[in-house]
Structure formats: C-alpha cells, structure tokens
Chains A and B, each alone.
Chain A
Amino acid sequence: MPPASDLALLVPELWLAALGLVLLGVDLFVGEQNKRTVGWVAVGGLLLALVPTWGLAGAVHRPGTTVFFGSYAVDGFAVFFKFLAIIATTLVILASMDYFRASGDRQGSTQRFEGEFYTLLVFTGLGLVLMAASADLILVALSIEFVSLTSYVLAAYLKGNPKSNEAGLKYFLFGAAASAVMFYGFSLLYGLTGSTSLYVIAEKVATVPAPALTVSLALMLAGFGFKISMVPFHQWTPDVYEGAPTPVAAFLSVGSKAAGFAVLLRVVAVAIAPSGLDYVTLIAGLSAVSMFVGNLLALPQRNIKRMLAYSSISHAGFILIGVAAFGGAFGNTGLLIYLFAYMFFTLGAFFIAALIEARLGSDDIPDYAGLSQRAPGLAFLMALFMLSLTGIPPTAGFFAKFYIFAAAIERSPALLWLVAVGVVNSVISLYYYVNVIRTMYLLPPQDPARIQEPAVLRTALWVTGAATLLLGLYPQPLITFARAAALLLP
C-alpha cells in the first residue's frame, strides 16, 4: 500500500477518474434531448481539476519526485502537461457541444450517445495526464494504450458515417501495429537493463552494448512517432483527421501529440541520454524530413482538415527541433512553450473548421470564400490562427518558433542547418496558410448569407484567439512557467 502522502500528490488524476465515472452516471439520468448537461458537468469538473493541479505546481520543487515506487513522476514537467491536457480537453468539450447540435440537425442520430462522447474525452484527458507522468516502461505502455484505445472509439464515433468508421479502423490497426512494435522495443530494453523503471535504466544504460540499444530505441520510436505523427509513422494522420469528428481531430492533433512528446522526451532524456548514444543527429534528421513531408503534402490539399493534418505533421517536425535541442538552456523551455502555444492556435483553427463544417456541411477550402463578409469575426480569428501557424509575429506561433530556433542554435552550431531547414519550411507553409486567408478575404462569397456562430463554440474560439495573441504579445508568464517545469525534469 503506498503511503497516503503519495495519494495526496495524485489528486488531479483521482479527480479526473472520479469525474469520468460521475459522468457515466449522469449520462444515465439525463434525457436524450439534454445530453449537453453531461458536457457542462464535464467542463465544470475539468475546471475544478485545475485547482489541485495548481496546488501541485506550487508544492513540487524537487526534480525527479516520484510516487508508487518510482513509477510515476510528479515533477514540474508532469504538472505542466497536466495543465495542457486539462485545458485542451475543456476547450474541445466546449467546441463539441455546438458541433453536435449544429451538425446533428443534418445527420440525425449522434445525439443519443453524446454523453458518452464527453465521458470518453474526459478519460482520454486522464490518459494524457498519465502519459506525461509515467516513469516506468509498463506505465508508459499502459497509458499510451489507454489514450489510443479511447481515441480509436472517438475517431469512429459517428456511427452511420462511413468515413468516420474508416478513420476508426485505420487508426486502430495502425496504432495497434505501432504499439506492438514499441512494446517489443520495451521488452528488449528491459532485457538489456534488467529494469522497467526509467530512472533505474538510466543508471545502467551506459553499460549496454550500443547496437542492441539502438535496435530497441528504433522499435520504441515507432510507437512514439505514431503518437506525435512523425514521419515515417505519420500516415494515419490525414486519413483519421479527415474522417473523425472535427473536435476529435483537434484533440488528437493537440492532446495526444503533446503527451506523445512528453513521453518521448522523458524516455529519451531520462533513460537513453546517459548512454552517450548520439540520438540528436537522428532526431534532427527526422525533424527535417517531417517538416518537408508535412509541408509539401499540405500544399495540394483542398480539404481543410487534411491540410491541417499535414500541417500537424510538419509542426511535429518543428517541435522535434526542440527535442534535438533538448539539454541546452533554451531547448527544454522552447519545447514546452511551443507545445503550449501550439495548442491554442491549432485548436482554434480546427474549431473554425468544425463550425464551418457544421454550418455549411463542407470541409473544402474553396467554400471559405468571402468568409470575411459572411462572418467577419470568424474570418479574423482564422486569419490570426493561420498567421500563427505560419509563425508571423506578433502571434504566439512566431514566438514559439523563434524560441525553438534560438534553442537549436544555442545548443550546438551543428544544428544551424536544421534551423535553416525550419525557416525554409515556414516559408513553404506560408503558401498554403495564406491561401486560406486569401480565400476568406480576397475572394467573393458564393452565398452572401451570414453564418451564425453558436454561443458556446464562440467562447472556445475567443479563448483560443485571445491566447494566440496574448502569448505572442506578452509571453513572459508562459516562459516563467515553462522554465520552472523544464528545470524540474532531471
């Protein structure tokens, strides 16, 4: 039995688990027309979960603080990702409520299971929290699998929709195969070091023969790469994003990606780095390839969700720059800042796609023509998100990119080429992002009718929009927070 003080450090997780169970109960007693109530309970519960998380942020000062016999970390790094996961889940639930109401009018049957949808989202959020804190290979495997399994269901959530079914199937088979490969890598790493605890592995990894270690690392990267949509493990991304309900795509592109990076970083930085293996060059190479593949494939896309999916792949490449630069004074912070800022503008872009899809029944970029006249507020926000995705100042995206590039240059002059690749790629990406702005602002609308903005979704949108702008103009609080979090990772 773990000591009670351990449990005190797990309040956010326990709270989220309890919230999920409560939601299942609430769902039983809520009528079919009022399933939004479940969503509101979920939002309220999630916001309350921020309170104990905030308490932890103040309480945890020691790097490498773990509970449950070293298997579960409660360091600043984990707390940072708790915030990220909870905020992302809250925003996605807010956006889903109006998405289902608006598109339900056209598609019919989804409302009956709406309550389960919110419950699943909350559980996935819990999974993300667990992922970011796992410090033991068994727990890493379990939490990744936890998030994957709920995500498969969420992707296939629109039961009557063949695209959604297909997204679910592809995601499931791809994910299951990638996880199996990763598990095999875990088993080899265990055999090489005799332990599943990352901290114990770190002590022994230096004595392991390098070839065997590289085989196990390559196998593990398949699983992590799948989670963060890194090339060459990216191929599920566009298909799943296109087929899944748009809020789910938003959640996957932000939540699972961030948690995937958390796991990747923890495993690589804690367990692999002491071996002296040069993983930086490899990560840098994967980063460059991801940026190029994602950006080039985003160019010809007409479907906004597919475009955002490829953009998400290229952003995985950008964030990998931070992984390569990890260890420098800026790398640790840069990566966290990027993930946090990225959350807001990516969610925002997906939310607008969700709204347009719900209102117009279309995901095609040409249907965004004249949006500046049909919905000026939406068009402005979308332009802001696109500029931020490109990395144009003074948005959060520019700041994030600047920081991560600076981190790479500071880490080692050998990474200068990677920064050059990154900058070139942000120029390429400009082309398709600005194309959206051009369509919205510079092309006449086919149908001049104004587009209604549902109230709740609008709230979520303005939160993301305000954060995108504020983090660009005044990033200091985020930097302080991220620095504290990064320092706490041993």
Chain B
Amino acid sequence: MVPLPAYLVLGALLFSLGMIGVLVRRNALIVFMSIELMLNSVNLTFVALSRHLASMDGQLAVFFTIVVAGVEVVVGLAIIVEIFRSRATVNLDDVDLLRG
C-alpha cells in the first residue's frame, strides 16, 4: 500500500515540472503540453485524495478535468495552427506584436 503523501508529493512534483516547462520552453506546443502535465498532476492529486477520503467526488472531478483538458486541446491547437499559418512559427518569443 503506497501511502497518501507519496501521491501528493508526486503530484506536486509533476505540477512544478509543468510550471517549469511553461516558463522555460519557447515552443507553443511544448508549453501547451506542460500545461496538460499540470492538469494531470491535478488529476493524480484528486484521485489519491478521493481514495484516501473514500469519497467519490474526487474521481468525479477527475473525469471532468480530463474532458476539460481534451477541449483545451481542440481549441488550443486550432489557435496555434492559426498562428503558424500567419507567421510560420510557433516560437512564443516571436509572438509579441501586442505589448506595453
């Protein structure tokens, strides 16, 4: 039986990893993947807590988070593709028309 703190720590690690990815990567797709990683760490935390608390709410939340992540893929990829069409790049540092 793996104790609860292990799951929570793993979740926190995954979350931090995702956050770091968002901060340091320039490619829009990889930044996006990092955000998905953060969402998955949320899922892990929810499931672990759900099991620990013996309540179904957490698992319910996981299902919805997965759906949300899926919809984000649809919308996000569409926007990234659109950017790629107009600028032929997915490098976030090149996307800086709007500033100040």
Contacts and interface: CB of A to CB of B under 8 A. Distances in A.
Contacts of B28: 169, 173
A276 interface: no
B64 A142 contact: yes
Interface in B69-100: 71-72, 75-76, 78-80, 82-83, 86-87, 92, 95, 97-100
Given A172-B79, A180-B42, A160 B68 contact: no
Contact of A187 (B61, B75, B80): B61
Contact of A180 (B38, B78, B83, B95): B38
Interface string B54-67: 01011011001100
Contacts of A167: 98
B60 A169 contact: no
A322 interface: no
A78 B26 CA distance: 41
A238 B23 CA distance: 21
Nearest to A236: B98
Q: Which residue, of B60, B79, B100, has the highest number of chain A Cβ atoms within 10 A?
A: B79
Interface residues of A, number: 44
A156 B79 contact: yes
Interface stretch (A10-18, A188-196, A330-338): A188-196
A138 B57 contact: yes
Nearest to B65: A183
Interface in A172-192: 172-173, 176-177, 179-181, 183-184, 186-188, 190-191
Nearest to A303: B100
A399 to B, nearest CB: 33
13 contacts: A141-B64, A165-B83, A165-B86, A176-B72, A183-B39, A183-B65, A187-B42, A190-B46, A191-B58, A196-B57, A196-B61, A239-B98, A243-B98
Interface in B30-68: 31-32, 35, 38-39, 41-42, 45-46, 49, 52-53, 55, 57-58, 60-61, 64-65, 68
Contact of A138 (B19, B61, B83): B61
Interface of B: 8, 11, 15, 18-19, 22, 28, 31-32, 35, 38-39, 41-42, 45-46, 49, 52-53, 55, 57-58, 60-61, 64-65, 68, 71-72, 75-76, 78-80, 82-83, 86-87, 92, 95, 97-100
Given A184-B42, A187-B49, A176 B76 contact: yes
Contact of A176 (B35, B57, B100): B35
A392 to B, nearest CB: 28
A169 B83 contact: yes
A168 interface: yes
Given A156-B82, A160-B86, A137 B32 contact: no
A121 B33 CA distance: 28
A104 interface: no
A163 interface: yes
By Cβ-Cβ distance, the 3 closest A-B pairs, closest first, are: A180-B38, A191-B49, A239-B98
Interface stretch (A145-153, A267-275, A349-357): A145-153
Contacts of A194: 53, 55
Contact of B98 (A160, A170, A183, A191): A170
A153 B75 contact: yes
B38 A184 contact: yes
B15 to A, nearest CB: 6
A142 B68 contact: yes
B35 A180 contact: yes
Nearest to A151: B75
B45 A191 contact: yes
Interface in A235-277: 238-240, 242-243
A450 interface: no
A315 to B, nearest CB: 20
A159 interface: yes
B24 to A, nearest CB: 13
Contacts of B78: 153
A458 to B, nearest CB: 30
Contact of B64 (A138, A173, A197): A138
Nearest to A175: B72
Q: Which residue, of B46, B97, B98, has the highest number of chain A Cβ atoms within 10 A?
A: B98
Contacts of B82: 156, 159, 165, 168
B75 A152 contact: yes
Q: Which residue, of A153, A172, A306, has the highest number of chain B Cβ atoms within 10 A?
A: A172
Contacts of A240: 98
A144 to B, nearest CB: 10
A145 B64 CA distance: 11
Contacts of A187: 11, 42, 45-46, 49, 58, 61
A131 to B, nearest CB: 14
A163 B99 CA distance: 11
A279 B65 CA distance: 28
B80 to A, nearest CB: 7
Contacts of B45: 184, 187-188, 191
Contacts of A137: 61
